[in-house]
Structure 1
C-alpha cells in the first residue's frame, strides 16, 4: 500500500517482559511501550510521561532518582507489577490511537499465576479497553481500576489531576 505524502510507515512494536513476582498485589497495565521506551528498553522512559512522578507520589519515594533496575525492584518490593496488554502491534510513532493489528497478551493465564494479586490498574483508555475485554466482566475477582493515561499526550488533565486520580492505588501498596 502506498503512503500518502507526510504519512509515516507503521512499524511492528513489541512489548517488554513483565516486572512482577509472587508478592505482586497491584498490576499496572499499559497498552504498548512508546518509541522512547522501546529505544531505552525501559517502561515509561519518555521524559514527558508522568508515570514515575505519579509513582513517586503514591509510594512517597523518589524513584526517579534511582537507576531503572532499582525503580523496578522498589515497585516489586511494594507489591506493584508492570506489564502491557498488547504483545505487539503495528504503530507509527507512539500514540495509542495509531495502534493497528494488535496481538493481545493472555492476561487471564498471566494473572492466574500471581497468587497475591488483588487489583489491576489500566494506565489509559487503550489499556482499559483491551484489558477489560480479555479479563471479562467478572474481573477474576479482582478490583479493576481505570486510570487517566500517564502519557504526556494526555494533555486534557494536569499532572495534579492525574496524581489525584492515581492516589486510589495507595490502598494496594505494601508498606516498606
Structure 2
C-alpha cells in the first residue's frame, strides 16, 4: 500500500516577524484539523501562551494573531513527505521535499533567529535547507520538542528553555 504524500501548511508570518519557529511536518491531528499543533497533548500553544500572555484555549485565529503580534513566524521545514502516523521517526527520508526558505527569507527580511521545535526539524533543515540558502544573518537554535512523544522533560522544563531562548530575542515577547 502506497502512503499518501503529506503537505505542510502555509507559513504564519507577517513582514514584521523577527523569529521563526520551525517544526518538521504537521502530525495527523494537525493535518486533519488544518491547524498547527492541533494535538491537545502537544505543549506548543500552552508554552506560547505562557510566554506571550494569551489564553491557550482561545480560538486558533487568536493564537495565530498572538504569534504575529509577538513578531514570531511559524512554519515547517518540510513542504511534503510520506509518513505513517505522526512521529517524525516515521518520515520516509526518500520522500522529503523542503519548503522554499530562500524565498521566505527574501520576503521576511527581519527574521534574525530560527528556532527548531525538536531535533528532526533541525537535522532536516541543516541537511536539506541550509546548503540552499544564501548567507543570511540569523542564529539557529534547537529547542526541546513540544510533542507529547518527547517526554524526557517536564512541561516546566520545556517552558523554561523556550522562555530563555525567545524572551531575549525580541522586546515584543513578554
- What's the TM-score once normalised by structure 2's chain length? 0.89
Distance 1:139 1:170, change over 3 A: farther
Aligned to 2:26: 33
The Cα shift of 1:11 comes to 2.9
- 2:86 alignment counterpart: 94
Match of 1:23 in 2: 16
Q: Provide the residue aligned with 1:106 in structure 2.
A: 100
Residue 138 of structure 1: CA displacement? 8.3
1:171 aligns with 2:165: no
Query: What's the counterpart of residue 6 of structure 1?
Result: none
2:136 partner SS = helix
Aligned to 2:130: 135
User: Whole-Å Cα distance in 1 between the matches of residues 144 and 161 of structure 2?
Assistant: 7
What is the TM-score normalised by the length of structure 1?
Answer: 0.88
Task: Give 1:74 shift.
Answer: 1.4
1:160 aligns with 2:156: yes
1:72 maps to 2:64: yes
5+ residue gaps, structure 1: 3-8
- Mark the structure with the bigger radius of gyration: 1
Deviates more, 1:10-19 or 1:33-42: 10-19
Aligned 8 A contact 2:102 2:134 in 1: no
What is the CA-CA distance between 1:10 and the residue it aligns to?
3.1
Q: Distance between the aligned counterparts of 2:42 and 2:4, measured in 1?
A: 21
Match of 1:117 among 104, 111, 116: 111
Q: Any stretches of 5+ residues in structure 2 without a counterpart?
A: none
> Structure 1 residue runs of 4+, over 3 Å off?
136-139
1:55 — aligned with what? Answer: 48
1:175 deviation in Å? 5.0
Q: Separation in 2 of the partners of 1:43 and 1:172? A: 23
Q: Note the aligned Cα RMSD (angstroms).
A: 1.9
